Structure 1
């Protein structure tokens, strides 16, 4: 049997179900993981779970059986779970690692395999590389059933959703939140966050909170274009004052204000820094991915908070959170972690922090955004994902890295940064960035301008120039 090399991208290994994401390949990854764990641990334990995607249970059980067959104890989640539930479970149950079968925000045809570390966040880049190096070309899939390993004491079922909900209840005053004057709408995007909000905020108005592994053919990514049903409902329903959305495995966040206007991750990061530092008097540095707005640096300067910029991939931010005192760590894609919680992206937790901010101050999300703009100025951000062949994608990035672009239409730039992708600081005060996706055949164009029209124009001019 000829097998391809399995590569972990920005966040885990992702592939198309039944094409490369097969039972056999999942078994190969699990075998590499088992070998890696057994090198350093006598009786390692792994927490395993899956989200709402097609065949999640089959793939999770495959990983569990391979791990058990190799002498690794497995704590297996019953029913679908979110990525933050696995990370919390690994930490609380003193496990050595976690596995989430998820392709996060990718289209429904994808599934994936994410590794979580003992610290309660993404496994470190070093550990991921070590597991990847041990993935065998061939593997023997055990014939024994899950029940067999349960009887042998190598497998135990656990309820991660209950554990997560009980933990969240200790972090917020739900009596106050459930009496909030700001009625919430929540869109689970058919993802793994769907039960949690039902349980914690029974008055919330719910969208797409049923189990649909095909996501109605829509990638479960919390972007404005994918959330129009909720946006329109908020705009036309006066009592709905805020909208929260989470992605397929509920680690990413999107928000809407009372007008049904999208509040993106850049604004959410700024709001969290503003609330935690100014209102809650919390301290710590800020860690942001390379694609996050420079307005974060402006706010950190205003509050005299140190800021660190990382390559793209939350594993880099999580590593800083484990080793240093971090107030907020976040990515442009909506993956954000805050102090007082696990070093992991968590869309529901972030949403509850900002719902608490609104409820305690009696201010709407729009009013709180204005507080932020008073410090950093108004800005508009947009991202364009171009589906291009890998060869074309690589040629464009190579040209950018070789300083092959002098300007983009009428937009000139004064400096370039290349931490991860290529970022152009424009003479109009905005910026633009080119980067190849680490998980899909996609070239991303990121842009920030002073108005929506200007930002869309930047994207258009860049597209014309590179294509």
Structure 2
């Protein structure tokens, strides 16, 4: 029986040599090619890029062979390239979409097949469903043109996507003040595609960029996975302390996400980071526009929306929901709890490089350190907000877990009264202090995620433990 390929929040991910093989990748590419052809894109250009995981460049070649075999033309990156750079190339090259061979922040055993639309953003759920349905069960139904033949006849062209992206970034932000600020910035590339980018963009001035984990190593030493959250960032945070860094920046494996540490080497959680980036755009830069947020991220955004009189739109988890709403509303910023943020003027895609630059720009413009910026944010939104999350594997039937959650009907969680249940994506219990507990299933792994945000630091653990009990764990 052929392996059935099921798309998650961004595309498809699997275990290398188990279900993620050259055959399944080629079948997946055929599904995307058929989708593009059905949309009337015969003979048009598609971007193909990849990360630094095991044999990603070879899987990318296989994708390019299938797209070329279907009469499409391919711009194939000449090296491992950050996801936001690949997405920008879609627009710069007037392509109709992209395939990115990456498993982002997944463990080293995995690789993935990420698809993008003509705007460089995530394809909406309906489009993903169509692609999935068009994936053939038999490799015999896949059309392939040998990569060397495709390069010889011009249907596959190698290119450097960095040139257009860097020119674009320089229109969005003045890099010179950051270069001249005399900061010490510790950057953790997590062995991934972000290596060298901040050094290249910010080198040549008094600001010092120190990089770690900036070589290729698909086993991702010193971390469980290249995901920019604790404990994966612990080595980087210690390096920031050791080097007396003013700020710590960390990108995930494909550099579409970003994490931060303050001048003391303490992690700034993703919800606070999103709040800071929105505050920077609204207060420091004086810009206005809608905010798009997933339900799993901070209510500080709702408060900022009221303060600055801008609308806030809430979506399900994943950029397949964020990107369409971001585009529809011409949003100022869009993002999610995982550390992925999109910005107006850029493509509707998470951009861990631009987000890092914006945070540095916020420090330079205000003359404040990260802890001082957080104090400003908390003063604006009425106090500190506390967040945490537990990810745990689960066994057994998913529907049984869902039934249990729906039947729980708790009056209180962590000692706080439950005010309502929202089921946009997962099961979010709103609490009396304006906080929340969310229980949802990962779209890419057999994992239950339990998240919470509250203004009561002493209740975080109790809220999470109640969430685990509600889910039967």
- Per the normalisation by structure 1, the TM-score is 0.95
> Which residue does 1:166 correspond to in 2?
167
Shift of 1:201: 2.5
CA 1:411/1:463 → structure 2, altered by over 3 Å: closer, same or farther? farther
Contact 2:68 2:144 in 1 (8 A): no
The correspondence for 2:384, drawn from 362, 378, 382, is 378
State whether residues 390 and 441 of structure 1, in contact with CA within 8 Å, keep that contact through their aligned partners in structure 2. Answer: no
Unpaired segments ≥5 residues, structure 1: none
How much has 1:172 moved relative to structure 2? 2.5
CA gap of 1:407–1:318, structure 2 versus 1, over 3 A, is same
In structure 1, distance between residues paired with 2:172 and 2:97: 24
Alignment of 1:88-237 (within 5 A): 88-140=88-140, 145-202=146-203, 203-216=208-221, 218-237=224-243
Show the 5 A alignment for 1:387-402: 387-389=393-395, 391=397, 393-402=398-407
Q: Which residue does 2:81 correspond to in 1?
A: 81
Q: Distance in 1 between matches of 2:262 and 2:271?
A: 15
The CA deviation string for residues 140-194 of structure 1, in whole angstroms up to 9 with x for no partner, is 3667531211112211101113332333234332221112243211111111111
Q: Is contact 2:256–2:352 with CA below 8 Å preserved after alignment?
A: yes
Aligned pair 1:331/2:336, yes or no? yes
2:363 paired residue number: 358
> What is the CA distance between 1:461 and its match in structure 2?
3.4
Q: For residue 20 of structure 2, what is the aligned residue in structure 1?
A: 21
Q: 1:300 to 1:143 in 2, by over 3 A?
A: closer
Aligned residue number for residue 460 of structure 2: 455
Corresponding residue of 1:5: 4
Q: How does 1:22-101 map to 2 (within 5 A)?
A: 22-39=21-38, 40-101=40-101
CA contact (8 A) 2:66 2:145 kept: no
User: Distance in 2 between the 1:381 and 1:289 partners?
Assistant: 15
Distance in 2 (alpha carbons) for counterparts of 1:429 and 1:172: 35
Measured against aligned partners, the alpha-carbon deviations of 1:426-447 in whole angstroms (never above 9, x if no partner) come to 2354321100000001000001
Cα distance change, pair 358–5 in 1 and its aligned pair in 2 (3 A): same
SS state at 1:225 partner? coil
Q: C-alpha distance in 2, partners of 1:408/1:337?
A: 33
Counterpart contact for 2:284–2:366, Cα < 8 Å: no
CA contact (8 A) 2:3 2:24 kept: no
Q: Secondary structure at the match of 2:13?
A: strand
Tell me the alpha carbon deviations over residues 127-152 of structure 1, each in whole angstroms, 9 at most, x when there is no partner: 22221111111123667531211112
Shift of 1:229: 1.4
Give the direction of change, closer, same or farther, for the CA distance of 1:321–1:410 in structure 2 (3 Å limit): closer
CA contact (8 A) 2:92 2:164 kept: no
- 1:94-126 deviation line (CA, Å, top 9, x unaligned): 011100001111111111101111112112222
Q: Which runs of 5+ in 2 are unaligned?
A: none
Q: Is the 8 A contact 2:280 2:362 kept in 1?
A: yes
Q: Does 1:313 align with 2:314?
A: no
Q: How does 1:265-284 map to 2 (within 5 A)?
A: 265-284=270-289
> CA shift at 1:26, angstroms?
0.6
- Pair 361,441 (structure 1): closer, same or farther in 2 beyond 3 Å: same
Secondary structure in 1 aligned to 2:139? coil
Instruction: Number of aligned residue pairs: give it.
Output: 464
CA distance in 2, matches of 1:390, 1:226: 28
Q: Secondary structure at the match of 2:246?
A: strand
What CA RMSD, in Å, does the superposition of the two structures yield over aligned residues? 1.8
What is the CA distance between 1:76 and its match in structure 2? 0.5
Asked if 1 retains the 8 angstrom alpha-carbon contact of 2:16 and 2:110, the reply is yes
8 Å CA contact 2:27–2:139 kept in 1: the answer is yes
Equivalent-residue separation in structure 1 for 2:460 and 2:95 (angstroms):
46
Offset at residue 451 of structure 1 (A): 4.6
Residue 226 of structure 1: SS of its match in structure 2?
A: coil
**Map of 1:248-263 to 2, 5 A cutoff?**
248-263=253-268
Shift of 1:82: 1.2
SS in 1 for 2:439: strand
Cα distance per residue 1:314-341 (max 9 Å; x no partner):
1211112222220110101111111122
Q: Which one is further off, 215-224 or 454-463?
A: 454-463
Which of 14-23 and 424-433 deviates more? 424-433
2-structure distance, mates of 1:143, 1:265 = 42
Cα distance in 2 for residues equivalent to 1:85 and 1:403: 45
Say which SS state the counterpart of residue 250 (structure 2) adopts: strand
Q: Distance in 1 between matches of 2:343 and 2:152?
A: 40
Alignment match of 2:348 (pick from 343, 346, 368):
343
Alpha-carbon contact 1:397-1:434 (below 8 Å) kept: no
Alignment partner, residue 291 of structure 1 = 296
